[in-house]
């Protein structure tokens, strides 16, 4: 029902709810707009100077405008308590446990997205600011930590399996960034000093979306949605949604590759 809004294609399970909320807000705002403009026009004509040459100190006696204002407040309360708060609560609560989700740590920096997978052990390796090297180890991952042995890190390349919950633990190394993927209807600020979980279930692989859009070059993009400095415009990451098998294969290759080039192992 929300095609008329011209939103980007939808590729996550919860997105329909967000879209219908956006749709309803537009409908209510249209009603408010027409209502207020009619009221304004009415008062301009009704209280025009030629009809009211002298100010009337008694004023309007009818309570109609009061009822209308109460009506507007009720509609706004319905939007807030009936739609916005429940949908937001569902998004920020009930984050799926690590056993049922793909856990990815995404760390924003000026001007890139560092992606970090925990690997098969489900544990993120220790990171240390002393090990941080912008070229070879942008996250300061301690490869000597046993939990880090199977960890996979990439820059700007987020791979995800389709139809499985994804929990992104969002962090930032420097300033406030914002992780936004329009097709997943996800947008969250990355705040230095905080780890903020966001979750969604991608339901359309990149290949399926390419076929659907009839565009063989289509890619999901992570757009930084907070002006974060001079290079903000080039702070884009890419999301590749694959089948479970393809993703598993990719992850295994990465684990192999990263252990091969790593001087610590």
User: Which residues bind to Cu ion, rule: CB under 5 A?
Assistant: 177, 224, 228, 235
* 264 close to 206: Cβ distance less than 8 angstroms: no
- The minimum distance between CB 182 and Cu ion, in angstroms, equals 16
Instruction: CB nearer to Cu ion: give 102 or 115.
Output: 115
Residue among 106 and 235 whose Cβ is closer to Cu ion? 235
CB of residue 14 to Cu ion, shortest distance in Å: 24
Instruction: Give the tokens for residue 9.
Output: 């294609």
Nearer to Cu ion, 20 or 110 (CB): 110
Decide: residue 47, CB within 10 A, 0-12 exposed, 13-18 middle, 19+ buried: exposed
Q: At CA 87, angle to CA 84 and CA 89, rounded to 5?
A: 105
Angle at 239 between CA 221 and CA 7, to 5 degrees: 45
Nearer to Cu ion, 122 or 231 (CB): 231
Q: Is 138 exposed, middle or buried (0-12, 13-18, 19+ CB in 10 A)?
A: middle
Asked if residue 182 lies in contact with residue 8, where contact means CB atoms within 8 angstroms, the answer is: yes
* Other CB atoms within 10 A of residue 25 CB: 13
Starting at the edge strand found earlier in the chain, the sheet holding 220-224 runs 157-161, 236-242, 220-224, 177-181, 186-190
- What is the chain's Cα-based Rg? 25
Report in angstroms how near the CB of residue 160 gets to Cu ion at its nearest. Answer: 20
Q: Give which of 157, 223, 158, 226 is closest to 189, Cα–Cα.
A: 226
225's tokens:
């949605």
Nearer to Cu ion by Cβ, of 102 and 235: the residue is: 235
Q: Cβ closer to Cu ion: 210 or 236? A: 236
């Amino acid at each position: 029902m929300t095609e008329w809004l011209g939103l980007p294609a939808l590729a996550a399970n919860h997105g329909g709810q967000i879209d219908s909320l956006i749709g309803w807000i537009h409908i209510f705002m249209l009603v408010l707009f027409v209502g207020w403009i009619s009221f304004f026009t009415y008062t301009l004509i009704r209280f025009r100077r030629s009809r009211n040459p002298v100010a009337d100190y008694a004023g309007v006696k009818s309570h109609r405008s009061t009822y209308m204002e109460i009506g507007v407040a009720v509609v706004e309360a319905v939007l807030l308590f009936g739609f916005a708060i429940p949908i937001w609560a569902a998004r920020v609560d009930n984050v799926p446990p690590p056993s049922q989700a793909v856990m990815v740590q995404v760390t924003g920096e000026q001007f890139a997205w560092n992606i970090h997978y925990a690997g098969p052990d489900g544990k993120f390796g220790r990171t240390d600011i002393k090990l941080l090297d912008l070229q070879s180890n942008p996250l300061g991952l301690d490869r000597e930590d046993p939990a880090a042995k199977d960890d996979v890190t990439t820059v700007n390349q987020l791979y995800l399996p389709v139809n499985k919950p994804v929990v992104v633990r969002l962090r930032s190394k420097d300033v406030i960034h914002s992780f936004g993927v329009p097709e997943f209807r996800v947008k969250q600020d990355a705040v230095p000093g905080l780890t903020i979980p966001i979750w969604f279930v991608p339901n359309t692989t990149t290949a399926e979306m390419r076929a659907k859009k009839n565009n063989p070059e289509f890619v999901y993009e992570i757009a930084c949605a907070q002006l974060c400095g001079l290079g903000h415009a080039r702070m884009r990451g890419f999301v590749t949604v694959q089948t479970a098998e393809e993703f598993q294969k990719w992850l295994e290759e990465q684990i192999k590759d990263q252990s091969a080039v790593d001087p610590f192992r």
